[in-house]
Chain A
Amino acid sequence: RKRMTKIRSDRRVRSSTFVNLHSIDLGGEFVTPQEDSSATPSESLMDKLNDQMMESVMISDSPNNSEEDDVAPMDSFLDGVEEEEAATEASDDKEKESEIGQNTTEIKFPLEEQEPGGSMEKGYEDTKAQANTQEQVITVVSPQGDEESPCEFNSGEQEAKGTSPKDEPVPVCTIFSHGNQPKSLVPDGFQPTLIKSPSFSMGSGGGGSEAVTPSKLTAPLVCQPSPSLSKFFTDNGQVNPASDFFDSFTVPSNFISVSNPNAEIPPGPSPATIDHTPERQLSSTSSSISTPGGPLDSAAAAATQPQPFNQLQAVFSGSDDPFATALSLSEVDRRHDAWLPSEETRKVLISVATQQYSPSFAETNKLTMPGLKFDNLQGDAVKDLMLRFLGEPAAMKRQVLTANSVEQSFTGLKRLISSKNWRAAVDLTGRLLTAHGQGYGKAGQPTTHTTDSLQLWFVRLALLTKLNLFQNAELECEPFGNLDHPDLYYEYYPSVYPGRRGSVVPFSMRLLHAELPQYLAKPQEALDRLHNLKTVCLAILENLEKGLAEDGSMITLTQENRQVSLNLWRSRLSRVMYSMANCLLLMKDYVLAVETYHSIIQYEPQQRVQLLSGIGRIFLQIGDVKTAERYFQDVEKACQMTGSQPGHTTCVLMNRAFVSLSQNNYTEAHASFAEVLKVDPKNPVANNNAAVCLLYLGRLKESLGQLEGLVQQDPALYLHESVLFNLTTMYELESSRSTQKKQALLEAVACREGDSFNAQCLKLV
């Protein structure tokens, strides 16, 4: 126990300000050997100099060993721990064990009741202080204990590594095995949560380290390119003749071309595709022109035929005059496709339009040449778990749609998406893109782009993102560059899309492309891209307000059209702002995040209540309960102004509950959630949150019963990963039979959920 004080002022040089330098270091008895090694060697000279000005106050534990007789030697306990834990298998043990890091101990926590003892000790220290002026220099130079935070990080990462063997080479079915990565602390679907939520990372060393390096987490998820790529053409012959596929692919695109009144021929796969697609496609392309019926398999025809018909009808419904419809469609096209290319790209596009430049001679570095980067996404984590825990007969009962079991078309794709079979849907996009000549290994080869092909890419990338396969998405996104190559604009294809202008890349894809880096620990890059989007949106809005067309050209728009366009671009702008705010939240830049969320209110006034509540919750997450309450008061005012809407009552009650929760008043919080349920008995959030409160009140059985009941009664709402995670956590706490109960949940999930279900929330592995 050292305490040192030294005066660094020369008595003779006495100015109006004295600088006293103290360094107090208490609690030396808890210094562990590890601590010495963790002292920073990196302290620069400047730091040292600066530090000399400051006094390090150690907050240390007080020497309150009053209950000596009850104190067992720590060592014997440690031994005990080892013995006992070998016998018991509570997961908590393990987690707690793994938490043990090397941490320093110079902090003093003055116990109030021990004040008298403290003053005695002080006298002792005072005398010591004078005796030890020499040593003081040492303590100032290396401020002990500063190194704890890096230390925590390390232990957190070790923990993650120790429990999740993610670094192991992943076997064949690469992407999918991600679903099986068993011992990760974080269930699959919770990964984004961890990355994002400040609270998760704060709660845990593991979370913290993940927040810093999400890429590490996702790294093993990258798919190894597999040579079995053209599986579709070989293996699936009987089930799905390739011709079906092409027909179905080209037929709907035929339909889409209808929406483009300027297109003379159905675009289908554009001429260039023919070069590198099998002969069959040629025939199928022609068949699509002459409508289904050519070399079609009858089954395929049955599947595909009604579809273009329906959609054609849909397109023309509401108007008897096809010409008028076509006009309004071109209006819609212009509005939605509008984009402002970079100056360089714009020049290329102009020269294409003025026929000074032939696309065929374009420099390849300015072209977009995407291709699939992986294959074989197929898989079903739920089924795998069933095989493992419930046996083969049970697993065989699981029926989910696969890429093979739906039409090889947009319709099939939509079916897969809506049935939450996103893995299969990604597979299907792969097949459709392969048919378009942008399949596996085609990256870097010249190709052409159509509305359809880019829509397929968008869906594929969006699904990969939804599946948390960010690395894969990034990999496939890479050939698109910054989405500004000339061949991504309609003007580049004057013969295929005569007269059509703007971006072939849908706005949603631009947004996704901008958001993607934030999930890969590159939020700054995401923010840069989002700012670019914002700039373009603002420029387009400015053009519209000036009476010009979206892209600044001198086209006269009707008042009505202009208004529609303004609304569209305002909503796009607000969507970009949302993404920016979300990204800032991930970056934990709460000041800017709150500011940005707040600025969205002007674009989306109808979301005021939700936005203000959201900001309040951000403050609660930081711990600033008072400011949160202020925002919640604003919410209540906003609710009063708009009159009573049921959603608003819920919102106000919910906010109250969160404040109570933050004041550690779980009883009150539970009461507020219960009140929400009086208004809206089916509210899943209130139900779940009420159950969570019960647990904190020590009412495990009740809480469990409530959640279990909800999942049984209304699986559609409650088979949600957050609810299931809570439920399985409580199972683990409740009894030694948690595995059986989790298996029951697995069965419930198997009946309802698609292949995109995040099975890790069941915590079975």
Chain B
Amino acid sequence: MPSATTTEAVPIETAHEDMIHDAQLDYYGKRLATCSSDRTVKVFDVIGGEPLKSSGHTLKGHTGPVWQVAWAHPKFGHILASCSYDGKVLIWGERSQGTADSGWTRVKEHTLHTASVNSVSWAPHELGAMLACASSDGKLSVLTFKDDGQWGADIFNGHAIGCNSVSWAPATQPGSLIHPQQPGVQPSAPFKRFASAGCDNLVKIWGYREDTQSWVEEETLDGHTDWVRDVAWAPNIGLPRSYIATASQDKTVLIWTKDSLTSPWVKTALDPSTASGAPSAAAAGKFPDVVWRVSWSLAGNILAVSCGDGKVTLWKENLRGIWECVSDMSS
């Protein structure tokens, strides 16, 4: 394959009136939701990388910059969650298309946080419609939507100075596919667990205890030396191992691995100095600037890293188990 030097990227005019903070493609990659400092959320149909003309919907309701949006699994319908500086999490639902009253309406409002809500994340669909939220008030909350339209909220202290991000663990335990269940033994129920990243430089792992009906702090991952900006738990890729990627203000990305349910988390830093074209001045294991975002591909084998130097790099574990930068995108 010849190396591409230029990609035929199609710019999409979002018509947002201020900086975009997040964009998320829906389950099928056919619709794009964006959110902005202009306090709105917009939804576009995207076909073949291009937006359909006049297909955009503008969702108004927040009173501050909107930080993140998240699409629910389509088995729950067309549902979108957004979180904002105004401390609110709004849940939006789409009425069926093709009818006269089609469009997006606000179906729920979550106002239990007292400061900016920075991140929202839907749980794996096997767990039902659940949404985790991280707020600058130091608290984390989990909303549970029931079939009958009712919903419940758990809210608890997460990271003292503020919570930046949340990411759910896959619903099935790693390795459960490799070691088949004994015949006659019920497969274990999907487990509710997520990771949170905070301004206390820590990543915490939370698990739900069915017996006490509460969220319990299970583990703390201590490795960063500054705010942890983002956390991303990798999808279960068929290995008996869990992966978590964290991005930090300290200019590092750490990959945390846990070989089995009982073994400890082991951290490895991504090393951008191995990537060609990297500034030689950069210290090993450090990115040139603050790392903002980390996100896993669907199959969990590629990690996209957004760094403050205006570059997105894609990382993949090679045959020898070493993380390599396989591609980068710059403006």
- Is this pair of chains taken from one and the same complex? no
Mark A residues whose CB is within 8 Å of B. none
Mark B residues whose CB is within 8 Å of A. none
